[in-house]
């Protein structure tokens, strides 16, 4: 199998582990910077060039597309799809996941448990928007933030209103959510591959921090998850359309709630916390998918 990994940095842990897993299985693998790919579109004819040479013959593409390059990265991935390559995470699914409010609308439409969320556009509507949400604390998020960036906890309604007014005035897309206090600064990361939770960890926020993201100083521990939590994670990934996903879940008094569905989940934290070969599971998925195509 000839595999492309779309990644801006081959030295990143997740990229390096996927390369390692692919080569251990005897596959040919190439890391491609999506920003160095350029595309030609013609009727029934799609081409990709990379550093002066045409790319062809790839059986599968693993996207490791950062949030800052979502638009162009998904255009490159879509071109590979149009050229017949399989990808565990299609371009349209990545776009759905990266738009947090769109993802929440999809999940809520299917009846999945979620934190109550609101969004608006005009600073003049901040008071009524917060009334729709309920009493503080409130979590304010940029709609396309990643790894905990652009996420702020507003302890008082006045603080939440000021943040919303500022973001709306800047024309920034944002959403506000209820704060699940009983989660006590922790969440569950369920790593879903091909419709199964193959690894899970509990992430605990650092002292004085409410975000459990490992990039924000949180710590990861291997965790047992219930069948209900597994089913929720698998269903969330399926609704967004992702074959490989990191589904973040909060444990609340009203049951498990989906916080976010990540289209490019990191491997380092969960492999280190659990000792599970997550990269190998991703490659196993590609092999099964290509065998079904044959």
Specify the CATH class of 2-88 in words: alpha beta
- pLDDT at site 145: 62
**Considering the entire predicted model, what is its pTM?**
0.91
Q: Which of 113, 112, 100 is nearest to 251 (CA)?
A: 113
- The SS3 assignment for 74 reads helix
How would you write the pLDDT of the chain (294 residues) with one tens digit per residue?
999 999 999 999 999 999 999 999 999 999 999 999 999 999 989 999 999 999 999 999 999 999 999 999 999 999 999 999 999 999 999 999 999 999 999 999 999 999 999 988 888 888 999 999 999 999 998 877 655 567 888 999 999 999 888 888 888 888 999 999 888 888 999 999 999 999 999 998 866 566 656 655 678 899 999 999 999 999 999 999 999 999 999 999 999 999 999 999 999 999 999 999 999 999 999 999 999 987
- pLDDT at site 209: 61
Alpha carbon distance 80, 59 (integer Å): 9
Matching CATH number, 96-100+182-285, of 3.40.800.10, 3.30.470.20, 3.40.50.970, 1.10.10.60? 3.30.470.20
Indicate the domain borders of the chain.
2-88, 96-100+182-285, 117-179
The dotted CATH code for 117-179 is: 3.30.1490.20
- pLDDT at site 20: 98
Structural contact between residues 207 and 276, judged by C-beta atoms closer than 8 angstroms? no
Alpha carbon distance 143, 51 (integer Å): 33
């Amino acid at each position: 199998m000839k595999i492309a990994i779309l990644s801006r940095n081959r030295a990143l842990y997740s990229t390096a582990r996927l390369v390692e897993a692919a080569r251990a299985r005897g596959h040919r693998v190439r890391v491609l910077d999506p920003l160095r790919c350029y595309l030609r579109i013609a009727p029934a004819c799609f081409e990709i060039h990379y550093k002066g040479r045409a790319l062809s013959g790839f059986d599968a593409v693993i996207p490791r597309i950062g949030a800052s390059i979502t638009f162009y990265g998904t255009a490159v991935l879509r071109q590979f799809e149009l050229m017949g390559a399989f990808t565990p995470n299609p371009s349209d699914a990545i776009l759905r996941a990266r738009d947090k409010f769109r993802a929440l609308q999809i999940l809520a439409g299917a009846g999945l448990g979620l934190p109550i969320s609101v969004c608006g556009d005009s600073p003049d509507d901040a008071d009524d928007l917060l009334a729709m949400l309920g009493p503080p604390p409130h979590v304010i998020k940029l709609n396309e933030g990643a790894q905990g960036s652009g996420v702020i906890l507003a302890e008082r309604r006045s603080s939440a209103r000021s943040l919303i007014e500022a973001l709306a005035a800047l024309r920034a897309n944002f959403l506000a959510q209820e704060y699940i206090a009983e989660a006590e600064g922790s969440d569950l990361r369920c790593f879903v591959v091909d419709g199964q939770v193959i690894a899970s960890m509990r992430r605990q926020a650092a002292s004085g921090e409410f975000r459990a993201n490992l990039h924000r100083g949180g710590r990861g521990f291997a965790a047992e998850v219930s069948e209900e939590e597994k089913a929720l994670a698998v269903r969330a990934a399926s609704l967004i359309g992702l074959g490989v996903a990191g589904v973040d879940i909060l444990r609340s008094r009203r049951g498990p709630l989906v916080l976010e569905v990540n289209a490019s989940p990191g491997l380092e934290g969960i492999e280190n916390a659990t000792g599970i070969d997550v990269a190998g599971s991703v490659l196993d998925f590609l092999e099964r998918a290509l065998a079904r195509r044959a």
